[in-house]
Amino acid sequence: MRSGRKSSSVDKAFELIEAVSETGRAGITLGELAGRAGVALSTAHRYVTSLLELGVLDRDAAGSYHLGVTLVALAGQYLEEDGLRAAARPFLAELVEISGETVHLGTPVGNQIVYIDKVESAKSVRLVSRIGSRVPLHCTAMGKAVLAMLDERRRAEALAGPLDRRTPRTLVGGALAAELDVIRERGFAIDDEENEEGVRCVGLPIMNASGQPVAAFSVSAPANRFSLEDCHTLAPSALAIATQISRRIGYAATRHAAAAAHRSRRRAARHAPNAGGGDL
């Protein structure tokens, strides 16, 4: 085949954006940006010229590059239209009531989870996080919940790279694979200080009509007031909520119902957008 099936220009442009994103508050010079993204200096300059004009990137007075406001405009649009978020919100609020702890909603992209919503507990010692944060799949409750429900091929893909040992309790390799099987069986994941010391979470997948884990939610709390036992106690309520959210976005709820889900895909596809439009 003469031409590839994707656009390398687009890929490179987003590599540039990602490189800017990773540099943080200080910004980054054009030269360094080109280096990080692996393109020639003049190429980077040309791409960046377009991105500046679009407001996707910005330059400060010193000439360093930063992310631009256009990204905020697009993200705002996304959050407003996201049916999953609208559908899940009341259930997540209910879960905050039940657990008394902060609940997050996230979606997998690549081998990360992006937080797209948050309902905070009223307690004074809360965990800091923000919508838009990205966390790894392999060491978080939401991430493991998603991994556990992926088919073999996708799971292998997501775990292909070297896995960070963020804490002494982080699971990798065979131990992680075994854990994922357990999670798949019981329906929920526990992050036992595997991502951040002093923080425990319970995470559950949200399945779409095709039986794919399209999102997840988690309850997070300081480990000292959220024991492993508390995690297990909370699980039944959380499972019920996961089922309800999944059903609401069109998942045929039988356990091993991949085939059934597949058959009902057409109808579900037409109904899903409407479900998203409602506010309940």
The reply to whether 210 sits near DNA by the rule CB under 7 A is no
Establish if 2 lies at the interface with DNA (CB under 7 A).
yes
| Residue 169 structure tokens | 């309790």
DSSP H helices, 57-190, are: 70-81, 83-99, 141-149, 152-158, 173-186
Choose from its own copies, DNA, none: what does 41 bind? Cβ within 5-8 Å by kind.
Answer: DNA
**List of residues 6+ apart from 60 with CB closer than 8 A:** 27, 66
By three-state DSSP, how is residue 261 classified?
helix
Q: Which of 92, 79, 140, 55 is nearest to 237 (CA)?
A: 92
Q: Choose one: 15-23, 38-46, 136-144, 162-170; the region binding DNA (CB under 7 A).
A: 38-46
25 near DNA, rule: CB under 7 A = no
Nearer to its own copies, 91 or 115 (CB): 115
CB 149 within 8 A of CB 184: yes
State yes or no: residue 29 binds its own copies (CB under 8 A).
no
Q: Give yes or no for residue 12 binding DNA (CB under 7 A).
A: yes
Cα–Cα nearest to 229, from 181, 193, 176, 190: 190
To DNA, the closest distance from the beta carbon of 266 in angstroms equals: 4
Q: Are 64 and 221 in contact (CB under 8 A)?
A: no
Decide whether 88 or 235 has the Cβ nearer to its own copies: 88
Decide which of DNA, its own copies, none touches 203; Cβ closer than 5 to 8 Å per partner kind.
Answer: none
Which of 244, 149, 134 is CA-nearest to residue 205? 149
> Min. distance of Cβ 48 from its own copies in angstroms?
9
Residue 116: contacted member of its own copies, DNA, none (CB under 5 to 8 Å, by partner type): its own copies
Show Cβ contacts of residue 84 under 8 Å, excluding neighbours closer than 6 positions.
105, 107, 116, 206, 214, 215, 245, 249, 276
Which residues ranging from 166 to 225 are in contact with its own copies (CB under 8 A)?
Answer: 208-210
Q: Which of 9, 227 has the CB closer to DNA?
A: 9
Residue 171 or 272: the one with the smaller Cβ distance to its own copies is: 272
> Which of the stretches 162-170, 192-200, 221-229, 265-273 binds its own copies when contact is defined by CB under 8 A?
265-273
